[in-house]
Amino acid sequence: MTPRLRRRLGVIVGIASLLSLVALSLAAPPGASGDPVDDKRAEAARIQDQLEEQGRNVSIAAQRFNAAQSRLSDVQGSLAQAQADLQNSTERLAAVKGLLAQAAITAYTQGGATMIISRLVRSGDHAELVARSQYLRVAAHDQRRLIGQLRAAREDFTIVKGKLAAEEKDAKAATDEAAAARRQAAAAEGAQRAILSRVNGELATLVAAEEARRLAAEAARAPALPQAPVARFDDVPTTVARAASAPGVVVTAKAPPPSSGAATAVRVAKEQIGKPYVYGGSGPDSFDCSGLTSYAWRAAGVSLSHDAYRQWFETTRVPIDQVQPGDLLFFGKDGVESIHHNAIYIGGGEMVEASQTGVPVRIRGWRSIDLVGAGRPG
């Protein structure tokens, strides 16, 4: 099998493997766990693994294309040099032929070689006659030898040029094949990214629906809480009543002084709005709940653990009716020990939070159904 055929077979096999991966991602059934959210997460993870494999295939195809381009460039450079050498030989041959022609004209106008020799004999200088005769023979021989060499060189370069032209044709073909393989690989990767984007969108929809069902179920289990007309933390009478009824809330008689870095923490938290939620994310490109609150307060000079439960004990308790922008709100179903989420209050009954996969950092109204309490950093 020739190297060229091996290259083509390699390209065909590579393209076939890429297309089979895309077909697999389209046709593969979801997992059998029975939980739609878990099944969709598993599907997204599988597609992500396939996408990474296709990324490697794109990189390999790109490297092969670069190698083919380099080979083509080398052959074209050699071809250009051969052309230049051939042109130089042609010019030298023409120059020698011109000298011979001039010598022939001179000999003819002076009566040919016999006339020249007769004049040398009549000069009476035998040594001069011998020397000039030898010079004429040597000069003629050198010119004939040079012409022969230049003609041989020209023939050699003509052969080399033909071989290089054939190599250039092969190199161009290899480059075109590599470029086609690279385009195929990139297209397959793009298709896989589109599939992953669709699956992630479906996952976000499922997660949002699941969250809505969870909240509805919690509301059904605590019918008295939704009736509270609380919409803002600065509604003191109603928030005090709600705080007193919330399970696990620790109410103190008086709040500590406002934190000096609160404004900075609020500003930094707002600047992260729209960035993705990633479990364990602590910035600056992605966040989870405690990663966001610790990131915001770190900018204000306060160090907090990357853990919502620990942040409860690292902050000072604040009565719900005295919450200020920058304070942290903690959430859990069954009091302090159940804390699983927190957010940063920004005023006006709103908070900034990094809540769950598929939902970016956002502003939303505070909720009372699972609010454990508030804490003031600093």
Q: What is the pLDDT of residue 40?
A: 81
Q: For residue range 291-331, what is the model confidence (pLDDT) as tens digits?
A: 999 999 999 999 999 999 999 999 999 999 899 999 999 99
pTM for this predicted structure: 0.38
- Domain ranges for the chain: 3-213, 232-376
Examine residue 284 and say whether the peptide bond preceding it is cis (omega within 30 degrees of 0): yes
Q: What is the pLDDT of residue 233?
A: 40
Return the CATH class of domain 232-376: alpha beta
56: buried, middle or exposed (CB in 10 Å: 19+, 13-18, 0-12)? exposed
Q: How confident is the model at residue 141 (pLDDT cuts 50, 70, 90)?
A: low
Q: For residue range 162-216, what is the model confidence (pLDDT) as tens digits?
A: 777 887 788 888 888 878 887 887 788 778 778 877 877 887 888 888 777 877 7
Q: Which letter, b or e, does each residue of 351-361 get, where b requires 16 or more Cβ atoms within 10 Å of its Cβ?
A: bbbbbbbbbeb
Give, for 330, the enclosing helix (H) or strand (E): strand 328-331
Quote the mean pLDDT of the chain: 74
Considering only residues 272 and 143, tell me which one the structure prediction assigns the higher pLDDT: 272
Considering only residues 92 and 127, tell me which one the structure prediction assigns the higher pLDDT: 92
Considering only residues 256 and 20, tell me which one the structure prediction assigns the higher pLDDT: 256
